[in-house]
Amino acid sequence: MSGRLFRALTPLGWLAAALAVAALLSALGGGLGLRWDPLRLQARRLEATEQRLEQARSQAAARRLEAAARGRQIESLDAFHRNTLAVTEATVAAETKARIADDAETPLDPARAERLRGHDRELCRLSPAVAGCAAPADPG
């Protein structure tokens, strides 16, 4: 019977049989987990995906660092503003007390005034950016 089958198939029949066998083997191999990728397309896609993943991770880490730094900067700025307001309030209160004090109109003793000027110069030397301080003289 097999001899009759071989003689009965025409070249087109042989081609169809070969294609059927190839399709059957391909389906069976695919089911078993065999893959044929001669151009390594899947490996290239995997590498590109891994690179994009690494870039996304590094960008996410950079955004986290930026957010943390922004938070610290805002906290520092808030603390500075609170400090500025507290200093302003204390200055206004001290100035008001000094203006309404009993001896506000009494002139100071010249020695005491000179001592206060010396303290003022020392404070300006330590912190020249304070309002009311003269610019430091150029030593050159």
pLDDT above 60: residue 134 = yes
Give the per-residue pLDDT at 126: 81
Q: What's residue 137's pLDDT? A: 62
Give the model's pLDDT for residue 86: 93
User: What local confidence, expressed as pLDDT, does residue 27 receive?
Assistant: 86
pTM above 0.75, yes or no: no
What is the distance between the alpha carbons of residues 131 and 102, in angstroms, rounded to a whole number? Answer: 27
Question: How many helices (H) does the chain have, and how many strands (E)?
Answer: 4, 0
Is the distance from CB of 127 to CB of 134 less than 8 angstroms?
no
d(CA 90, CA 97): 11
Structure tokens at 2: 């097999």
At 2 the pLDDT is 62
Query: What is the Cα–Cα distance from 124 to 84, expressed in whole angstroms?
Result: 18
Residue 5 has pLDDT above 70, yes or no: no
